[in-house]
């Protein structure tokens, strides 16, 4: 099921870029009134509901997978593998969506700090009929990826292995399209032009794509006179996530888009991209996957947004990003602000029996004892 029905194609016409349809796009935008009121903030705030991008499994990774699955199919792949931590949303999205386009899913997984948020995902990943390779540590990846490719080829499969988060220039084009989609919603009067956009950043794919797309929209005169500033909230320590890495991927995505469109306005310089990016490292806490008090507070606040589905955030990514926005709203920092909601709010499928792998079982037992308040609320 290839699709041309995406903002990128509406703006640039036919492009030599295959995409498959996984998401129900455009995702809605809505005011964050209940959050603003609870905080008594004078700053206006909105939300882009990418959590609603699919009823199968939503969130930000759907847009990246629309491009990467198409790339896998074009290369004749039979299997597509996600690479990520035990609680990876990218891996869950791959597992649930790949069969819809005729690909067999798999995952290369490595441990992360135990949490209830991650446990919800691992329960699905561990019980589903996917080809899993479980590592003891992420540092094994450089050896594990070639091993996975070679061993699966020997079994007659044609594997396509994605890098963590799908963070390639091609994968980022899904989020260039998302920025154009937002610009079209602004142009249609669905929301005011945001002054700044707040989003969680891990692999950098989402932020890099948005950074490029916002510039292009402004250059083409769609929605914004000036591009909104992007506030990327780090959930992994430097240098795993850094402004340099975001800008590097954005520059490569921009060059790729210029080559696909032949339009020089798609080429955005490193300096221009950097000037529009703010990396906020204040919400990381004790590290990746470790819940913070500010994140939990933001989760409770955002659960006040209830339609069309409760805005349930997670402690690893979106709760920390929301906490960065809460701090700005408390300070009445001038808006309008836009929160990019990246964690799926679609109900997860029921999971089957526990895995036999003792490492996974031990990790799951520790995660179940996380002890904090629920990490996703309002389901």
Strand, helix or coil for residue 356: coil
Residue 115 near ligand PLP by CB under 6 A: no
Give the DSSP H/E element, type plus range, for residue 35.
helix 33-39
In terms of phi and psi (left: phi > 0; alpha: psi -120 to 50; beta: otherwise), the region of 373 is beta
- Of 202, 289, 291, 319, the residue at the interface with ligand PLP (CB under 6 A) is 202
> Using CB under 6 A, which of 41, 43, 115, 342 touches ligand PLP?
342
- Which among 22, 325, 56, 292 has a CA at the least distance from the CA of 200? 325
Least distance between ligand PLP and beta carbon 305 (Å): 16
DSSP H helices, 155-191, are 169-187
Token digits of residue 39 = 């905080």
DSSP bridge partners of 45: 337
Contacting ligand PLP within 302-341 (CB under 6 A): 314, 317-318
Interacting stretch for ligand PLP, rule CB under 6 A, among 134-142, 179-187, 205-213, 361-369?
A: 205-213
Stretch that binds ligand PLP, among 111-119, 203-211, 221-229, 347-355 (CB under 6 A): 203-211
How far apart CA 178 and CA 112 sit, in angstroms, is: 29
CB of 318 to ligand PLP, least distance (A): 5
242 near ligand PLP, judged by CB under 6 A: no
User: Judged by CB, which is closer to ligand PLP: 43, or 83?
Assistant: 83
Order of strands, sheet of 104-110, starting from the edge strand that comes earlier in the sequence: 131-134, 104-110, 79-85, 159-161
> Binding string to ligand PLP for residues 152 to 191, with x set by CB under 6 A, is what?
-------------x--------------------------
Range in contact with ligand PLP (rule: CB under 6 A) among 23-31, 196-204, 295-303, 369-377: 196-204
- Decide whether 45 or 93 has the Cβ nearer to ligand PLP: 93
Q: Which residues inside 47-66 make contact with ligand PLP, applying CB under 6 A? A: 59-60
Residues 6+ apart with CB under 8 A from 168: 68, 205, 249
Check binding of 23 to ligand PLP (CB under 6 A).
no
Q: Contact between 201 and ligand PLP (CB under 6 A)?
A: yes
* CA 74 – CA 292 distance, rounded (Å): 42
> Is the alpha carbon torsion for 239, 244, 250, 256 positive or negative?
negative
DSSP codes of every residue in 266-327: G---HHHHHHTEEEE-TT-TTSTT---HHHHHHHHHHTT--SSS-----TTTHHHHHHHHHH
Of 41 and 85, the one with the shorter C-beta distance to ligand PLP is: 85
User: Looking at beta carbons only, is 41 or 168 nearer to ligand PLP?
Assistant: 168
Q: Name the residue nearer to ligand PLP (CB basis): 4 or 252.
A: 252
Using CB under 6 A as the binding rule, whether residue 207 contacts ligand PLP is answered as yes
Q: How far is the CB of 156 from ligand PLP (least distance, A)?
A: 31
3-state secondary structure at position 133: strand
**Considering beta carbons, is residue 220 or 240 the nearer one to ligand PLP?**
240
Q: Write the Ramachandran bin of 278: left for phi over 0, alpha for psi from -120 to 50, otherwise beta.
A: beta
83 contacts ligand PLP (rule: CB under 6 A): no
At 205, list the tokens: 């794919």
Give 23 or 165: the residue with its C-beta nearer to ligand PLP.
165
Nearer residue to ligand PLP within complex by CB, 148 or 313: 313
Q: How far is the CB of 241 from ligand PLP (least distance, A)?
A: 7
* Residue in 36, 43, 185, 203 binding ligand PLP, rule: CB under 6 A: 203
Q: Are 265 and 313 in contact (CB under 8 A)?
A: no
Give the C-alpha separation, 254 to 248, whole Å: 10
Selected from 205, 249, 301, 324, the binder of ligand PLP by CB under 6 A is 205
List interacting residues with ligand PLP (CB under 6 A).
59-60, 89-90, 165, 200-207, 314, 317-318, 342-343
């Amino acid at each position: 099921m290839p699709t041309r029905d995406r903002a990128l194609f509406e703006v640039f016409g036919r492009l030599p870029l295959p995409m498959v349809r996984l998401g129900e796009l455009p995702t809605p935008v809505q005011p964050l009134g209940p959050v603003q009121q609870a905080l008594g903030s004078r700053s206006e705030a909105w939300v882009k509901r990418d959590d609603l991008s699919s009823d199968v499994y939503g969130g930000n990774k759907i847009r990246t997978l629309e491009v990467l699955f198409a790339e896998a199919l074009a290369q004749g792949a039979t299997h597509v593998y996600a690479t990520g931590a035990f609680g990876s949303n990218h891996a869950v999205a791959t597992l649930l969506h790949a069969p819809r386009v005729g690909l067999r899913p798999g995952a290369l997984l490595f441990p992360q700090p135990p949490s209830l948020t991650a446990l919800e995902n691992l329960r699905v990943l561990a019980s589903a009929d996917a080809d899993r390779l479980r590592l003891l540590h992420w540092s094994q990846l450089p050896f594990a990826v070639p091993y996975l490719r070679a061993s699966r080829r020997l079994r007659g499969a044609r594997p396509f292995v994605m890098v963590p988060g799908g963070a390639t220039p091609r994968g980022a084009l899904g989020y260039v399209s998302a920025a154009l989609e937002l610009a079209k919603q602004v142009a249609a009067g669905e929301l005011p032009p945001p002054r700044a956009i707040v989003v969680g950043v891990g692999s950098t794919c989402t932020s890099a794509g948005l950074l490029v797309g916002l510039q292009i929209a402004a250059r083409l005169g769609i929605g914004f006179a000036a591009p909104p500033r992007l506030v990327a909230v780090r959930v992994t320590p430097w240098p795993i996530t850094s402004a340099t890495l975001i800008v590097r991927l954005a520059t490569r995505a921009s060059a790729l888009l210029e080559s696909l469109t032949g339009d020089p306005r798609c080429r955005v310089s490193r300096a221009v991209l950097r000037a529009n990016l703010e990396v906020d490292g204040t919400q990381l806490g004790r590290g990746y996957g470790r819940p913070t008090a500010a994140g939990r507070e933001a989760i409770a606040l955002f659960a006040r947004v209830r339609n069309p589905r409760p805005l349930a955030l997670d402690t690893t990514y979106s709760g920390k990003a929301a906490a960065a926005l809460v701090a700005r709203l408390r300070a009445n920092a001038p808006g309008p602000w836009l929160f990019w909601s990246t964690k799926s709010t679609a109900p997860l499928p029921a999971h089957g029996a526990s895995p036999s792998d003792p490492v996974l079982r031990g990790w799951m037992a520790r995660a179940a004892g996380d002890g904090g308040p629920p990490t996703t609320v309002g389901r």
